[in-house]
Amino acid sequence: MELLAYESLMRKLRDKRRDLGIQQKELAADAGVSAAQLSRMERGNADAKYATVYEVWRTLKRYEADETETAAELCTPTIDWVRTDQTGADAAQLLLENDYSQAPVRAPDGGRAVGSITTELLLGAGVSDQPVEELMQNPFIEVRPDTSKAAVKEHLSSHRDAVLVYSRGEYRGIITQFDLI
């Protein structure tokens, strides 16, 4: 096995970071090094410890896995729906029984998602006989099964409660932040 010279190794790590579209600052923070140190490492101006270089490499491998894993692989295939003709109390019961913090909403006859309901929303409104149709929020975002884990993660980190996986006229599953752990 041939070992790379430090400068060649750092160039490979830099090129991999760029190929994945990751900013130095982001990689540095996730790898536990300063952005300035990572910049010096990538230019070959700093001889970092093996453990530091290894952590940068490991972090890049995690990013790479995020790019190859898809929504179809991440999702929970069973979706428990709340219907628009149910009450807030019915929705709360479904969430409580299944230990969910949110659920998608659709009409009683099925079809596309028309809204979403969360425990936070139900707590604010109070569990009531009020129809879900009057309580619900916007529907969860929908993604294709081949959407990358990185893209799903971005959707969920921008204050979305869940993502629905939808393809060819049917829902394939649901992804929550818990599914990314």
**pLDDT band per the 50, 70, 90 thresholds, residue 68:** confident
| pLDDT at 85 (0 to 100) | 96
Q: Are residues 112 and 48 in the same domain?
A: no
Same domain, residue pair 55 and 109 = no
Sheet with 170-176: strands ordered across: 141-143, 162-167, 170-176
Q: Determine the Cα–Cα distance for residues 64 and 83; give it in Å rounded to an integer.
A: 38
**What pLDDT, on a 0 to 100 scale, did the predictor assign at position 8?**
84
Report pLDDT digits (tens) over 2-21. Answer: 767 888 888 888 988 888 88
Q: Which residues contact 43 (CB under 8 A, 6 or more apart)?
A: 10
Q: How many residues does the chain have?
A: 181
- The first and second tokens of residue 118, run together, are 């969360």
Q: Average pLDDT for residues 19-42, to the nearest whole number?
A: 89
What is the rounded distance in angstroms from the CA atom of residue 112 to the CA atom of residue 140? 11
Full residue range of the structural domain in which residue 150 is found: 72-180
pLDDT for 91: 95
Q: Cα separation of 93 and 180, whole Å?
A: 25
Residues 117 and 148 in one domain: yes
Instruction: Report residue 33 as tokens.
Output: 């090094």
Q: What is the percent of the chain with per-residue pLDDT over 70, rounded to a whole number?
A: 96
Please tell me whether residues 27 and 91 are part of one structural domain.
no
Question: Distance of CA 179 to CAs 8, 49, 149, Å?
Answer: 37, 34, 10
Would you list the DSSP string of 39-93? HHHHHT-S---HHHHHHHHHHHHHHHHHHHSBHHHHSBS---PEETTSBHHHHHH
Name the helix (H) or strand (E) containing 140: none
Q: Is the pLDDT of residue 127 over 70?
A: no
Tell me: do 88 and 163 sit in the same domain.
yes
Average pLDDT taken over every residue of the chain = 89
Domains identified in the chain, total number:
2
CATH number where 111 lies = 3.10.580.10
Q: What integer is the mean pLDDT of 172-180?
A: 92
What pTM was estimated for this model as a whole? 0.67
- The reply to whether 1 falls in a domain is no
With residues binned 3-state (H G I as helix, E B as strand, rest as coil), the percentages for the chain, rounded to 5, are 50, 20, 30
pLDDT in tens, 100-117: 999 999 999 999 999 999
